Structure 1
Amino acid sequence: MARTTGLRWAIGSHALVLALSAPFAMSPAASEAGGRANDSNGEAVHTIRVDGTDLGRRFDGVGGVSAGGSSRLLLDYPEPERSQILDYLFKPNYGASLDILKVEIGGDVDATVGAEASHMRTPDEVDCSRGYEWWLMREAKKRNPEIALYGLPWGAPGWFEGGYWSKDRVDYLVAWLECARENGFTIDYLGAANESGFDAEVTKRLASALEEQGFGDVKIVATDNHNPPNYWFAVPDILADPELDAAVDVLGEHDVCVWRTLQRECHASGEALASGRPLWDSENSTQDYDVGAQPLARAMNRHYIDAKITGNLNWALVSAWYDNFPIGGTGLIVAERPWSGYYEVGPSVWVDAHTTQFTDPGWHYLESASGYSPGGASHVALRSPTSDDYSIIIETLDAVEPETIRVEVTGGLSTVPVSVWSSDLATESTDDDFIALGTVEPVDGRYEITVEPGHLYTLSTTSGQVKGTARPDADPSEQLRLPYTEDFERVGPFGLARYFADVHGAFEAVPCAGGRRGRCYEQQVTIEPLTWHNTAMPPTTIVGDPRWWGDYEVSVDALLDRPGHVELLGRVDSQQHNAAGYHLRVAHDGTWSLFSQDVRGQDRTLASGTTQPLGTKRWHRLALRFRGEHVTAVLDGAVLDTVEDAEHTTGQVGLRVGGWQRAQFDNLRVVPTGPRPSLVPHSTMTATATSEHPENDFGHNYLAEHAIDDHLWSTWRSRFDPVAPLPQAITLDLGKPTTVAGITYTPAVTASAGVIVGYTVAVSGNGTDFTEVTNGYWQATLATKTAAFERPVQARYVRLEATAVHGCPQAPIVAEINVSRTPLPVLGQGEPPSDPGPRFPHLVPRSRMTATATSQQPGYEAERAIDGNCGTMWHQSWSPYTPPPQSLTLDLGGDWNTIALVYQPRQDGNANGVITDYDVAVSRDGVSFQTVAEGSWTADASVKVAEWSATPARYVRLTARSGVNGHVSAAEIAIAHTG
């Protein structure tokens, strides 16, 4: 009979039972096959057999990826915060304790959130001092001399004569390795290109060049592609070619547990496994730092259990780019406020620590100890190659109840007391992550634990682990102060001006031209690069706080090296392979234009003209002056024009050069043109909502608290699966009675749907009795808007209610809400939505209708046009393709006196399939149809109507004769009747 003594620790929300076990009896089946046994109370127990001789694959390590401009702002962090962040990433036994650092081999191109500097901008020059990745590698090595280094290019210089895949690529990579050597680094791994296909000949040439140039120890990783569902797509070709087979050392694919999902299944390849090579997830998105820990924890174990993957590298290492980008916060640590030193350590740091602080590259997985429990836990075990130490990592994210785990240790492994560490990943706080719960002493190599759902555990015979405790002494709401000036005389390392982030191209401080002394900021790239993912954009750099209130004037001196144009940018409120904001463009011949660029990169001219020629090699001063909805363009002190526009109302500033040429800038200055509102600090508030979407949805969740967290990339959204009907509201508790004069509303930085256009604002002293203080309509733009009160009021609670939203699903979205203590200007006011649907008060209930179609694509069936969710749609089959005309027939469930059909096209921003030519026919028996309306509709997303004289009908058939790009679709169809 087994004898156990149970010990329970309770730390915060953690509860763990450790049982010290004497020899116990097991059923023969359980003893032989493993799995389920029973404890002394007859309860089921899952057994993990940790056999030190049952060696599996070699563990290669856990890494982070610094690429695409993702680490730029970290360079400008003050001390001690910068060192604290670096310690959390690289210092052994402190934080993430990473084993591998993967960096971008820069190409001066927009490679996700920005550009990294190239070491070789022309074929006959090499500069090994450019770029901050060398600095980052040095800091990593300083903390962990054993960390492995891995280089990979995204874009490429335009001088490659053979195109993206050419011999020039090989020369470029070898030159970078020589730069690494010059900088004191030995590179361990190298890839040929990121997510850009695969070229067998270039890979073979690269392998030969590495041998010839003394880099034979550098291991080549292939293919570094994100290619679902064809993971490991190149393996058959690699194995079929002996020379290529010999060239590739590691098989690395991206997001093999499926990009930005919960990562419950990791995709293996029989041929990849049979190759015998190490298999890596060489870039796995960490998702938003506050929700990505759970998917990462699954992937860390399931990589090996499902696919025998032994290397896990996460992008982004650190989210150190401006937060007006839709995937801000994707990283182990958020570090986007260098002026204040504020940063946030995400729970993913401690997920990594559960493996990295208890293992090292070179340890081996133990096959029999890697698998799943009946209760939903995954577990892996690894052992040291040089000692009898072992570690077990258990994740219970899909478990629904506690489960007892029995561990049986054999095969010469250590019998010393086992330390137990735990993280509660079901909570948002990191205070209950990476907690040392105590130790358990095995008896005859056996012990038991009871694991709780939603947790990550490590059991280990090693010691020395530490949870870092450094914290920033800064507030997340602290903004970069105005006035802001930069004269480029005191630039930082690598010629990069403080807080400037290149989006595309390369800007560096150099001696001024045009007879001016000192240093100026110059765009350096003169040959258009070979872009990554077809970025079509002129050289651009941005700077400033994305949350800047928009009443300011930005001005700069500019000089053209040769004919062309320069641009000054203001109120840049979103950066996604463009610079959404206002642009003043001035050319050498004196032509100028003032235009607004939206989030999709589309320009809208507001004013234009001709002035005195700028010429070349002469200095001129450009300025953009903003006050409320007035935008003024100024050149050399003379006003070019003033316009009224509200597409952008807040944001940072930037510089752009019209082509791939040199141009210089100097004396950038941003000064207020009016008072900034006095806003109630978010730190004093709490937020609640009528509904929210808490689940991880494509790497994000949508909690009410996100509307007051001072991050533009995080959002509140009412529940959208299923859709919670309007109106929906979010309520702010200010913490105490406060005099308030209005609110500001900022939508998500790239919201294609959910922008609030109809609103009411109400206030309360007790949180129960609310009084409406204003209502109205906003424009359907991404700009920050205001709801100004007629007079200041005293309130503790402020409620914003969305009565109408733009796009689908009909779920309001909010990046930030601020409450102002001072009067606000009127910004972004609009008209009621132009929806013809409301003129028909009587619509056939959807619940009465059914739908059929002559053609439909799986997943886009006819009934989706009447499901009440404009985020879904009916679409005719495109695979195989069935061209228009195609018909959608509605059975109304009975006779109605019909008068109109209301058609809502798809609302996802894609015009493909919008019906342009149509006819409508009705029937009472479903056999004989009478045409009652026909005509044409505009090819846009607006709601459209077909009307006819009142006609009794049970069936209504919409025939789409033509549509955009030869397709037809419908998000929603409604039928109006006389009542």
Structure 2
Amino acid sequence: MTRAPVRRWRTLTAVTSLLLSTLTGLTAPSVAQAAPTPSTSITINGTKPGLTFDGVGAISGGGGNSRLLADYPEPQRSELLDYLYKPGYGASLQLLKLEIGGDTNSTDGAEPSHMHTADTVDCNQGYEWWMAEQAKARNPDIKLAALSWGAPGWIDGGNFWSQDTIDYLMSWMDCAAQHDLTIDYLGGWNERGYDKAWYRNLKDTLTSHGYATKVVAADSDWSVADAMAEDPAFNDAVDVVGVHYPCGYLGDYTTCSSTATAQGLGKPLWASENGSQDTDTGAQAVARSINRGYLDGKMTAYFNWPVIAALYPNLNFSTDGMSIANQPWSGNYKIGKTTWVTAHTTQFTRPGWKYIDSAGGYLGGKRTNGSYVTMKSTNNSDYSTVIETMDASVAQNARFTVTGGLSTGQVHVWATDVRSGDSSNWFVRRPDITPSGGKFKLTLEPGHVYTVTTTTGQGKGTATPPAPGALDLPYADTFDTPTTTTSPKYFSDMNGAFQTVACGGGRSGTCLRQMAPTTPIRWTDEPYNAPYTIMGDGRWSNYTVSVDTMLEKKGSVELLGRVNQQAKNNNGLNAYHLRVSDTGAWSIDKSDSRWTFTTLASGTTTALGTGSWHHIAFTFEGSTLSAMVDGVTVGSATDASYTTGQAGLGVTGYETDQFDNFALAPGTPASHVGPVASGLTGKCADAKDDADANGTQVQLWDCNGGSAQVWTWSNGTLTHNGKCMDVTGQGTANGTQVILWDCNGGANQQWTAQPDGALKAVQSGRCLDVPAATTTNGTQLVIWDCDGGANQRWTLP
């Protein structure tokens, strides 16, 4: 009934045009016609060829990124594991790569080796066995891979490419068997090239030990394929060509190429590490790369690094992975958008399915329109097509024709609006489509991922986390209470291996011991690589950290305090250190983001010696730092560089020292309420419209005593109406906007008050800034290089 007036209007228009043309020679203006919707025809023919799909997975390791997950309380720990591995619930990962720990930093932490020395094997070290067991419990079909980033220093004088390393890997494989874990794939040395003879030996040794494990080489670049093409024996030793970041590193991942030589080998080609992207803002890149890795480079597996950001917020890659879990004491976590982008492939396919090459490509033949791939099931009936329109600017139509023995029955559609920040728009089931004669159409909106499938069993997990909270002081750990792993609760090793063991020195019970006795074969290149471990809430300000310690050998132990931002790959740390040696020499030192150490105070007290227990304590009260040894205050220093941060333990070399009775006692509360006045006269920091919604702008405004200008300064954070002053998206670039956001303990919500009145953002090292020193009301505050200007000076409450 609504169409007739339209037809009449078109008829009248035509008559009017004819009359005007006849009578006056004029032509009536034509009615504007909408541009046709772009359309792509996709024929899904089950008889067409394609390579075998090996799966989509992620990497636990490459730097302690899973560490805190084991310390989460129930039920939150199980919820997070379900979101990672449970089929039909979340990311539903099909592959899991484990780091073979080497007692050395491998990005955001160090994972412990199962052999700290050549004559000792401990198959229960670390948390990767636990992670793999949890993954297998949820998905028995998940495939496991393993790779070394570093290795203990006892191996062949530091030579990774040695028989020692192969024997070491065989002992690790034997440990996996003790845990009832089958390792399906094994690599060499992460991103450190290859040694052809070593890989041939590795393959022969695996076979002689009865392992059917496939060898992956070389977890670096495509040059390994050239070497394989030139050396038949090397080629025979390698089962899978694994390459890192074939789509580029930290980019948009619009192109994911391989080489003709690699494709000519006839071996599976894998993106054996990709990702390194924020769990939300990196989802678009991940969506492109899962599809385009196959379209551009015939890569049949994709590993995202890392599997989860279960690490502290002051570490460099603290928001990468499927989810974020950095508060084990509160149980708070965040399921990222990357989880749901990944689920669009993993929940609708299985390793062993076949790609259908003729049913994959770029929409309309243009990369900017988006991409699509299709896989068929081993039952030769079911199929799934995954489509991404990350760069599209207009809606498009996809017109499907299904043939070649595949199901022409009902089609299920799932969609994620990747441009949306609302999680209710992620992984949503749309109305089913009933094909007619094997044909159907789907409208594709820009910035989406779609899955079109005949399979069932998919779902979106419904578990939700509790609110974030502080780790309150006092806090203590005697190390006597067993934990999920051999690491004590909340401690995260940055170098070396801190393990709970039976106490020495005549003391009963359990103590914490640094286990690595020699400098490992390293992966990172930080100028200071001594073992240390950190723990706790980065918002702590005034407190005393103390511990009992026993030096097993000559050297020094240390307490760390106000630990905040760590530089990438442990190439620096903003922190204070109390160091005490066996001779009684002590010092209070400050380290920075380049591992430059400044001694703030030093002296000598009674010698500690070796083999006996002593008590040391480090107190932070405002800008005063005090040191105590065996109950006696030995000295103090004044420094205001770092106002908040975690606590930690360390040794100044690869020594096997022990610790017990770790404790944190609160100092004077550092909380003040009032305005934050700018160095620009009469101006204050203001929450726009006195709102408290996430994303509310923090702006400059005339100081007026209003509620929008009431801030609470506590432990290095500024809050308004319960929301934290936050650097948008954990950005570090000049000009990144400052907003309000839920307090989460992130380094982008921590600020250090400088002696000149500047407020330095802990994560970036840049200062809270009024752009161009303007005094215009409503000016958005940002971060900028610290320059001492009045527009960067603030008076705290």
Q: TM-score range with shorter-chain normalisation?
A: 0.7 to 0.9
**Which of 503, 518, 537 in structure 2 is aligned with 1:545?**
537
C-alpha distance in 1, partners of 2:219/2:147? 9
Output the CA distance in 2 between the equivalents of 1:66 and 1:803: 33
Query: Residue 685 and residue 69 in structure 1: after superposition, are their counterparts in 2 closer, same or farther (change >3 A)?
Result: closer
Cα distance in structure 2, aligned partners of 1:56 and 1:344:
37
Aligned residues of 1:687 and 1:708 also touching (Cα < 8 A): no
| Matches for 1:110-509 after TM superposition, within 5 Å | 110-161=105-156, 163-215=159-211, 217-225=212-220, 231-374=221-364, 376-473=369-466, 475-476=467-468, 478-509=469-500
2-side partners of 1:184 and 1:710: how far apart?
48
Question: 2:51 and 2:785 mapped to 1: Cα distance?
Answer: 53
Give the corresponding residue for 2:558: 567
Q: How many residues align?
A: 708
**2:697 paired with 1:688:** yes
Which ranges in structure 2 are unaligned for 5 or more consecutive residues? 1-33, 675-686, 701-718, 743-749, 754-758
Q: What does the per-residue CA deviation read over 1:515-550, in whole Å, with 9 as the maximum and x for residues that have no partner?
A: 2221111111112211112344111111111222x1
Secondary structure of the structure 2 residue equivalent to 1:806: coil
Q: Kindly provide the CA deviation profile for residues 871-902 of structure 1, in whole angstroms up to 9, marking residues without a partner as x.
A: xxxxxxxxxxxxxxxxxxxxxxxxxxxxxxxx
Q: Partner of 2:633 in structure 1?
A: 639
Preserved CA contact (<8 Å) 2:96 2:142 = yes
TM-score by length of 2: 0.84
Three-state SS of the structure 2 residue aligned to 1:258 is coil
1:505 and 1:42, CA in 2 relative to 1: closer, same or farther beyond 3 A?
closer
Cα pair 2:143 2:184 within 8 Å, conserved? yes
Given that residues 715 and 813 in structure 1 are in contact (C-alpha distance below 8 angstroms), is that contact kept between their aligned partners in structure 2? no
* Alignment-derived partner of residue 666 in structure 1: 660
Contact 1:46/1:405 (<8 A) preserved? yes
Q: Larger % of strand: which?
A: 1
Shift of 1:806: 2.2
More helix by share: 2
For residue 431 of structure 1, report the CA deviation from its aligned partner: 1.3
For each residue in 1:268-323, what CA deviation from the matched residue of structure 2 results, as whole angstroms up to 9, or x when unmatched? 11001111111111111241112011000000111111111110001110101111
Q: Give the whole-Å Cα distance in 2 for the aligned partners of 1:494 and 1:43.
A: 57
Alignment of 1:726-741 (within 5 A): 730=738
Q: Residue deviations 1:454-473, cap 9 Å, x none?
A: 00000000111101111112
Q: Paired residue for 1:80?
A: 75
Letter aligned with residue 534 of structure 2: I
Once the two structures are superposed, what CA deviation does each residue of 1:802-852 show, in whole Å capped at 9, x if it has no partner?
Answer: 6974279x9x999xx9x9xxx85xxxxxxxxxxxxxxxxxxxxxxxxxxxx
**Conserved 8 A contact 1:760-1:800:** no
Partner letter of residue 158 of structure 1?
G
Secondary structure in structure 2 of the residue aligned to 1:73: helix
Counterpart pick for 2:767 among 755, 758, 763: 755
Between 1:348-357 and 1:618-627, the stretch displaced more is 618-627
Inter-CA distance 757–393: structure 2 relative to 1 (3 Å threshold): closer
Letter in structure 1 aligned against 2:109? G
**Taking structure 1 as reference, are residues 713 and 65 closer, same or farther at Cα in structure 2, changes over 3 Å only?**
farther
For residues 620-674 of structure 1, the C-alpha deviation after alignment (integer angstroms, 9 at most, x for no partner) is: 1111111111111111222222221111110001111122121111111111110
TM-score by length of 1: 0.69
Distance of aligned partners of 1:636 and 1:43 in 2 relative to their CA distance in 1, 3 Å threshold: closer
CA distance in 1 between partners of 2:740 and 2:444 (Å): 38
Q: Are 1:323 and 1:712, in contact at CA under 8 Å, matched by a contact in 2?
A: no
Inter-partner Cα distance in structure 1 for 2:619 and 2:94: 49
Determine helix, strand or coil for the equivalent of 1:570: strand
Is 1:715 the equivalent of 2:730? yes
Residues of 2 paired with 1:152 and 1:114: CA distance? Answer: 16
Deviations 1:191-244 (CA, angstroms, capped at 9, x unpaired)? 0111112111110110010111111x100011112xxxxx41111111211111
Task: Decide whether the 8 Å contact of 2:114 with 2:123 is kept in 1.
Answer: yes
Distance apart, 1:744 and its partner CA? 7.2
Q: Is the 8 A contact 2:603 2:635 kept in 1?
A: no
Structure 1 equivalent of residue 44 of structure 2: 50
Give the aligned residue type for 2:473: L
Structure 1 residues 62, 627: CA separation in 2 closer, same or farther (over 3 Å shift)?
A: same
Asked if structure 2 preserves the Cα contact closer than 8 Å seen for 1:329 and 1:713, the reply is no
**Partner SS, residue 431 of structure 1:** helix
Q: Distance in 2 between matches of 1:265 and 1:113?
A: 28
CA gap of 1:290–1:41, structure 2 versus 1, over 3 A, is: closer
| Residue 98 (structure 2) pairs with residue 108 (structure 1) | no
In the alignment, the residues of structure 1 paired with residue 792 and residue 521 of structure 2 have an alpha-carbon distance, to the nearest angstrom, of: 37
Distance 2:393 2:57 in 1: 31
Amino acid at match of 1:262: D
Counterpart amino acid of residue 646 in structure 2: Q
Aligned-partner residue type, residue 663 of structure 2: R
The 1:387–1:113 alpha-carbon spacing in structure 2 relative to 1, beyond 3 Å, is same
3-state SS of the aligned residue for 1:687?
A: coil
- 1:522 lines up with 2:513 in the alignment: yes
* C-alpha spacing 1:657/1:306, structure 2 compared with 1 (3 Å): same
Asked if the contact 2:561–2:648 (Cα under 8 Å) also holds between the matched residues in 1, the reply is yes
Contact preservation (8 Å) 2:573, 2:594: no
Structure 1 vs Structure 2 CA RMSD: 3.1
Q: Go from structure 1 to structure 2 and tell me whether the alpha carbon gap of 1:713 and 1:182 turns closer, same or farther (over 3 Å shift).
A: farther
Partners of 1:744 and 1:441 in 2: how far apart? 60
Letter in 2 for 1:637: G
- Per-residue CA deviation, residues 729-749 of structure 1 (Å, 9 max, x unaligned), is 756699xxxxxxx99776444
Cα separation, 2, equivalents of 1:527 and 1:713: 42
Change in Cα spacing, 1:733 to 1:668, as seen in structure 2 (3 Å) is: closer
C-alpha contact (below 8 Å) 2:499/2:512 kept by paired residues: yes
Secondary structure of 2:339's match?
A: helix
**Equivalent of 2:582 in 583, 588, 594:** 588
Q: Determine helix, strand or coil for the equivalent of 1:297.
A: helix
SS at match of 2:452: strand
Shifted more, 287-296 versus 373-382: the winner is 373-382
Given the superposition, is the C-alpha separation of residues 731 and 385 from structure 1 closer, same or farther in structure 2, using an over 3 Å criterion? closer
Q: 1:218 to 1:801 in 2, by over 3 A?
A: closer
Structure 1: tracts of 5 or more residues without a match = 1-39, 226-230, 692-703, 735-741, 771-798, 825-979
Question: What one-letter code is carried by the residue in structure 2 that aligns with 1:183?
Answer: H
Query: How do 1:742-891 and structure 2 match up within 5 A?
Result: 747-751=760-764, 754-756=766-768, 801=781, 805-806=785-786, 824=797
Are 2:39 and 2:398, in contact at CA under 8 Å, matched by a contact in 1?
A: yes
Any conservation in 2 of the 1:301–1:379 contact (CA below 8 Å)? yes
5 Å matches for 1:908-923? none
Q: CA deviation at 1:83?
A: 0.3
**Which whole-Å deviations, capped at 9, do the CAs of 1:172-207 have from their partners, x for residues lacking one?**
111111111111111100001111121111101100
CA gap of 1:596–1:803, structure 2 versus 1, over 3 A, is: closer
Distance 1:122 1:713, change over 3 A: farther
Mapped to 1, the partners of 2:238 and 2:155 lie a distance apart of 24
Q: 1:453-496, CA deviations, whole angstroms, 9 ceiling, x for partnerless residues?
A: 000000000111101111112x23x1111111111110313321
Residue identity (%): 42
Alpha-carbon separation, structure 1, partners of 2:752 and 2:591: 22
